[in-house]
Amino acid sequence: MTKQHKTHLLIGGNLGDRKSNLESARRLIGQRIGTLVKSSSLYETQPWGKPDQPDFLNQALEVATDLKPEEVLKAVLTIEKELGRQREDKWSARTIDIDILFYDAKVLNNKDLTLPHPHLHERNFALVPMLEIAPNKQHPVFKKSIEELYEASKDDLEVVMLDDVEPEETKK
| DSSP-assigned states of every residue in 79-109 | HHHHTT----STT---S-EEEEEEETT--EE
Known catalytic membership, residue 97: yes
- Which entry of 97, 104, 112, 155 is annotated as an active-site residue? 97
User: Could you tell me if 56 and 47 are in contact, meaning their C-beta atoms sit under 8 angstroms apart?
Assistant: yes
Q: How many whole angstroms separate alpha carbon 33 and alpha carbon 72?
A: 6
Are the C-beta atoms of 34 and 65 separated by less than 8 Å?
yes
Per annotation, catalytic residue among 18, 85, 123, 155: 85
> Is 87 in the active site?
no
How many CB atoms within 10 Å of residue 137?
21
Q: Which residues contact 41 (CB under 8 A, 6 or more apart)?
A: 59, 129, 132, 161, 162, 163, 164
Which of the residues 32, 55, 99, 104 is marked catalytic?
99
**Is 131 strand, coil or helix?**
helix
Q: Residue 155 and residue 123: Cα distance in Å, rounded?
A: 6
Task: Identify whether 55 is a catalytic site residue.
Answer: no
**Catalytic-residue membership of 99:** yes
Catalytic site positions = 85, 94, 97, 99
